[in-house]
Structure 1
């Protein structure tokens, strides 16, 4: 267990991982960020930043690295194309419903066995 060094600062974190049942690209990632922020009543203050190094690094690690800034912190998404594997971290300074985040993510990406951890 990690010691809470700043108990007066609200921080909620949710890590979700699983294998996507659909192919992911920059348009799908943008649509997810729009959907998850709406479902959790979080506010974006900038456009998503989506990287796909295309040819850089190991072939098995190719995919997408994405981030969207929120008024209340941010959401990071990582996707490995060859494995259709997702890793998503929602980090906020505002409380949100983990159950809604899990449900929306599982449905949006058609993930059958989504695992998650809060911290």
Structure 2
């Protein structure tokens, strides 16, 4: 794809000039295809777990959950959990493992809800993660998808 030129008119000091402004064309949108494992020799396991907790999730809950998740998945922690709260988007947390890590997100509004993304280069038991998460947050409903 070649950049295309569009022209802009600018006025400064009462004089008009025409400038060529290069803009990149929009990339063609790729169709969604059947997923192909491009690196089968590299272990990668992904799990997304989402649910409705029965209590308001705090900074302390996120840090404790991620620390205990490290034990459940048998991962080596490199950096203790980090959290951040946004007035618009709720809580976010992350833990760094030797074999990748996990992200945690929770909202209080419009509903109490959480989402966990686990990505590792080492195998773990997804059922153990789901059950641990269900018990930890005493969920009213929980769903999970493995990739």
TM-score greater than 0.5 by the shorter chain: yes
Which structure's residues are more often helix, by fraction?
Answer: 1
Long gaps (5+) in structure 2? 1-33
Larger RCO of the pair (alpha carbons < 8 Å, separation 6+): 1
Larger Rg: 2
The residue aligned with 1:27 is 60
Equivalent residue in structure 2 for 1:70, among 89, 97, 111: 97
Aligned residue pair count: 113
Runs of 4+ that moved beyond 2 A: none
Q: 2:107 aligns with which of 54, 57, 80?
A: 80
TM-score norm. by structure 2 comes to 0.74
2:121 counterpart of 1:93: yes
**Is residue 77–residue 98 contact of structure 2 (8 Å, CA) maintained in 1?**
yes
Higher strand share: 2
Gaps of 5+ in 1: none
Q: Distance in 2 between matches of 1:10 and 1:35?
A: 23
RMSD between superposed Cα atoms in Å: 1.0
